[in-house]
A and B are shown apart, each in its own frame.
Chain A
Amino acid sequence: MTTRLATGGRLLDRGRSVSFTFNGKRLSGVEGDTLASALLANGQMLMGRSFKYHRPRGVVASGAEEPNALMNLGSGGRFEPNQRATTQELFDGLEAASQNHWPSLEFDIGAVNSHVSRFLPAGFYYKTFMAPRPAWKHVFEPFIRQSAGLGRAPKERDADVYEHAYLHVDVLVVGGGVAGLTAARAGGLSGASVLLVEQTGHWGGRAPVDGAEIDGQGAEDWIASAVTELEAMPNVRLQTRTMGAGVYDHGYALVYERLTDHLSDKTGPRHRLWKIRARHIVTATGAIERPLSFAANDLPGVMLASAVRDYVVNYGVSPGDRTVVVTNNDDAYRTALALKEAGLEVPAILDARLEATGALPEAARAAGIRVLTGRGIAKVKGRRAVEGVAICAQAGEGAVLEEIKCDAVAMSGGWSPVVHLWSHCGGKLNWDDAGAFFRPDPSRAPTGADGTAFVTVAGTANGHLLTAEAIADAHEAGKAAAKAAGHTATRKAAPKATSEVEAPMAPVWMMPQGAGAALRQKMWLDYQNDVKVSDVQLAAREGFESVEHTKRYTTLGMATDQGKLSNINGLAILAGSLNAAIPQVGTTTFRPPYTPISMGAIAGEARGELFQPLRRTPLHDWHEANGAVWEPVGAWRRPYTYRKPGEATEDAVAREITATRASLGLLDASTLGKILVKGPDAGRFLDMLYTNMMSSLAIGKCRYGLMCSENGFLMDDGVVARLSDDAFLCHTTTGGADRIHAHMEEWLQTEWWDWKVYTANLTEQYAQIAVVGPNARKVLDKLGGMDVSKETLPFMAWADGALAGHAVRVFRISFSGELSFEVAVKANEGRALWDKLLDAGAEFGATPYGTEGLHVLRAEKGFIMIGDETDGTVIPQDLGLGWAISKKKDDYIGKRAQERSHMTDPARWKLVGLETVDGTVLPDGAYAVGDGVNENGQRVTQGRVTSTYYSPTLARGIAMGLVLDGPDRMGEVIDFASLDGTGTVVKTKIVDPVFFDKAGEKQNV
């Protein structure tokens, strides 16, 4: 049973009680606790259930590497799953709940999985659930859905706010232990601007717990004075609760700051994601202790030796009355000594090594602790908690020599440097035989823009496990980083530390080394994913020899672990199974972030209205005030239609179309792209850009043009107006303006850079209003100021002039088949002109129409729409637009591609009009089906719908589509498959795509 000790706990403020809930139960802890330490203080060792077998699990670690104690935290808009109890600082009102159990943490039905574990071996997803197929739906899926998944997904909108921040520094130091402090100090003294970040709320890392003497001071005193010294340096910035999440190319780093996670008061941003550019990065990220693989090493009460020490020293928490320490190194003896000092029993230290004669083992013996060398744990006894250990010879097969009663086990398999950040951007590792770990290879560092290393690893993370070495290494790292950033390294001496000499550790990958199958099936490598020694061995036998394959097949080191606890032990077992050396097996890839960061932090401010900037036309406010149903088009919002009070959307669309055809419609066309192309070579340039001839266009005239990519595919269309001898105004689609402007610039800058052409995107400089319908001319005449008669301004001409006192340019172009004028006016006069048009048009029932009306009007006329009739695979020839492709030109962008055999294939589907036999509206995207099946066993298709609408003008459904040999099959009735899954077809007649006013008489009046 875990409990709070009467004294001790260096991080606690025992005078301040903190209340929180766990699974709805009200508990109390102390200011300074983590959630994990507070739960342990309340006797709550059981903190979760494992992923696959639902085995009871207690806390194993005391930091970010914790695999078991993952909690649901908070509620409502602040609910968040999978948070580590070990890194969550306690605050008043914290709500925590354990996860992955049903119905309760204490009694979990899924624990039965444990008894069927031989049916859930490595790769069980791939094997067990493959066949028979119906079993998936009725047996496997319900079973997996009930039992799988760690936390629940949040359901409500996140109540917190998040932000991004940016910083340029000379040196970023990640990790605020004694090495990080030393490196930051050396960098700061050298004159570099330094940012030092520490993921926890405390400086100094493990040193205050493990003990060290630095510059003649105790660790805690030295840390305090180092922090004071750094805080006094104007060029150094220090941040706690800030994690180095990832290192990227050219000195870019993501740093994750948690501002309110430890507070009851959640005011202000919760997380801040720092985007850092550092000239050099020092990672002083320390090391993580490794578990040992012995049978039942996952029972609640089996913890890392360092974690046991942390709970005793930092939080005044007893892991149990009697703790057995099992180790392969000297460091774990510190745990035994710390327990003894706290007045707790250590019945034995089991040291897998044959002798232990260093200073720490001798100190343990002097304290009266029984030290057994050459011994290990055959098995941990107990069902839901540790009740004792069976001792065996490490060299043997597990014959039990003795049993010892205990309620906790502190294990240490040695330490692994945290090399994640070094590896993120390509830093390579060497295997260190003495320490049995991977350490950074400084000759194969991540390199920056100048080809030199931009990351240096310092201290324990660099493989220097002893404090004295770590500090000396970190001082040099800080100096080197400052030098790399262009400063002169300080001449001040490094802090001097003394540390106890430790005897070499002995690698122990399995305990005992000759354990049989029964024991191996109970040795956990990865607690979170329930991966055991036997699983990795099975994977190796089944041929998964690559470490990356083994990882995915067994799920070793997946999810939140990411190689923190399980990595080296798993690699060693794999290497042993393959009879290969560990460095030959290699390691899996470390990817950012180091520990999970919140989705909110990634999004930052980009949510709601700030998700994307909104482009508003000069008439936006009028639309909004007049019932606009918005449609996003690019970054614009355009009215889809304008609904009158009580009116249905489709009725509004029909009303607008009918009014426009009958009398007068008004459209806000301001979003259409307007690109000015000017210069002596402008005509020549446009001849390359458009499929048709633009250089022959007369001044004062307009021409419809098509633009293709070099692949030959149709990418944009629009009307070009020739303004003067050397100037053209190119209209583009709404969504295409920026893209087409960039397309023009690309060709001008990178291919025809000697051509004298200048382009300017004038889209937002003008408001443009389409005045459409039989009464369009009358309303312009009423405004007065220019002659818009058929004689002066014929179809496909434009003229500058004035209307109602506004300087305007009027284009006589039509996308509706009606008499139509598009009136461009300075953007800031757009609203005034719009109001005057509405006023003057009132007698004609002037009706603003939206994009859906625009679509139906153009479809009735058989005009194509980029993005409907085209999808990046369609060429103009497919759409019957051969008339817009110049035969006289030697070249245009896309011409060569259109000569490729696939492009000239007569079997390409071609544009036709489509009319259902019963007059209904064809489903959008429906396919025309033919007879038989193709080589994949799918029904043969012979066409598809590209646009489909209800035409109020014709009172029936109309559509366009691409159909095999379509233009040659006029009048034929073919079948379109319905999309409702019934397998029925819609009988549809192939017709001319121009449904209305085929002769074009209405627009030419």
Chain B
Amino acid sequence: MLILTCPCCGVAADETELAPGGEAHLKRFGPGSSEDAFEGYLFLRQNPRGVHFERWRHAYGCGKWFHAARSTTTMEVFGTYSAQVTEPPPEITAKIAAAGKPTA
């Protein structure tokens, strides 16, 4: 039962308040894209044993989407951040690197 702090409203939200949204930072491929590119976007996921960048929605709170960096093995949370970025912010990646964890 995770606790993630919503970066939009600042609430330390219980997992029951949140809805999971799978892997973060996917690039959308639309009409005109190759079969491989579209397959990768629609179906293929990292599913790492380790640090995972993932999407969450504060569904029973402010309703906003955000991103979290979380270890799937230790449950360590390296931070939550805006959903409106295409890659994790440097302070998050620095924290992960400092912890000696690889980022897939």
Contacts and interface: CB of A to CB of B under 8 A. Distances in A.
A755 to B, nearest CB: 11
A975 interface: no
Interface residues of B, number: 29
B28 A742 contact: no
Interface in B44-91: 55, 57, 59, 63-65, 71, 74-77, 83-84
Given A250-B2, A252-B1, A746-B21, A447 B30 contact: no
A749 B8 CA distance: 12
A896 B65 contact: no
Contact of B1 (A248, A746, A751, A899): A248
Interface in B1-30: 1-3, 14-15, 21, 28-30
A450 interface: yes
Contacts of A710: 42
Interface string A746-762: 10011101000000000
22 contacts: A250-B1, A447-B75, A447-B76, A448-B76, A450-B76, A450-B77, A451-B99, A742-B59, A746-B57, A749-B65, A749-B83, A749-B84, A750-B55, A753-B84, A891-B30, A895-B31, A896-B29, A896-B31, A896-B32, A896-B33, A896-B38, A899-B31
A449 B84 contact: no
A896 B83 CA distance: 24
B43 to A, nearest CB: 9
A602 to B, nearest CB: 14
A249 B33 CA distance: 40
B58 to A, nearest CB: 11
A711 B41 CA distance: 11
A751 B84 CA distance: 8
Interface string A941-959: 0000000000000000000
Contacts of A449: 2-3, 75-77
B2 A249 contact: yes
Interface in A251-288: 252, 277
Question: Max chain A CB contacts within 10 Å: which of B71, B75, B83?
Answer: B75
B42 A895 contact: no
Interface in A203-259: 248-250, 252
B75 A448 contact: yes
Contacts of B55: 750
B15 to A, nearest CB: 8
A335 B38 CA distance: 72
Q: Which 9 A-B pairs have the closest CB atoms?
A: A252-B1, A451-B76, A753-B84, A749-B65, A447-B74, A449-B77, A248-B1, A891-B30, A250-B3
A447 to B, nearest CB: 4
Interface of B: 1-3, 14-15, 21, 28-33, 35, 38, 42, 55, 57, 59, 63-65, 71, 74-77, 83-84, 99
Nearest to A248: B1
Interface string A621-640: 00000000000000000000
B65 A746 contact: yes
B18 to A, nearest CB: 12
Given A252-B1, A746-B65, A895 B84 contact: no
Nearest to B73: A426
Contacts of A896: 29-33, 38
A749 B64 contact: yes
Interface of A: 248-250, 252, 277, 447-451, 710-711, 742, 745-746, 749-751, 753, 890-891, 895-897, 899-900
Given A277-B3, A451-B99, A746-B57, 14 more contacts: A249-B15, A250-B2, A250-B3, A250-B75, A447-B76, A448-B76, A449-B3, A750-B21, A750-B55, A751-B28, A753-B84, A891-B30, A895-B31, A896-B29
Nearest to A252: B1
Question: Max chain A CB contacts within 10 Å: which of B30, B38, B59?
Answer: B30
B85 to A, nearest CB: 9
B27 to A, nearest CB: 10
Contacts of A891: 30-31
Nearest to A711: B42
A722 B30 CA distance: 27
Nearest to A891: B30
Given A249-B75, A448-B75, A451-B74, A745 B63 contact: yes
Question: Max chain B CB contacts within 10 Å: which of A249, A250, A710?
Answer: A250
Nearest to A889: B31
B9 to A, nearest CB: 13
A749 B63 CA distance: 10
Nearest to A254: B1
Nearest to B75: A249
A447 B71 CA distance: 10
Contacts of B99: 451
Contacts of B31: 890-891, 895-896, 899
Nearest to A749: B65
B17 to A, nearest CB: 13
Contacts of B1: 248-250, 252
B100 to A, nearest CB: 11
A899 B2 CA distance: 39
B90 to A, nearest CB: 19
B30 A750 contact: no
A450 B99 CA distance: 11
Given A248-B1, A249-B2, A250-B1, A897 B74 contact: no
Question: Max chain B CB contacts within 10 Å: which of A250, A750, A753?
Answer: A750
A894 B103 CA distance: 31
A35 to B, nearest CB: 35
A985 to B, nearest CB: 39
Contacts of A753: 83-84
B91 to A, nearest CB: 16
B20 to A, nearest CB: 12
A607 B74 CA distance: 36
A451 B28 CA distance: 33
Contacts of A711: 42
A88 B73 CA distance: 39
A201 to B, nearest CB: 29
A717 to B, nearest CB: 22
A896 B42 CA distance: 10
Nearest to A712: B42
Contacts of A450: 76-77
A750 B74 contact: no
A242 to B, nearest CB: 19
Contacts of B74: 447, 451
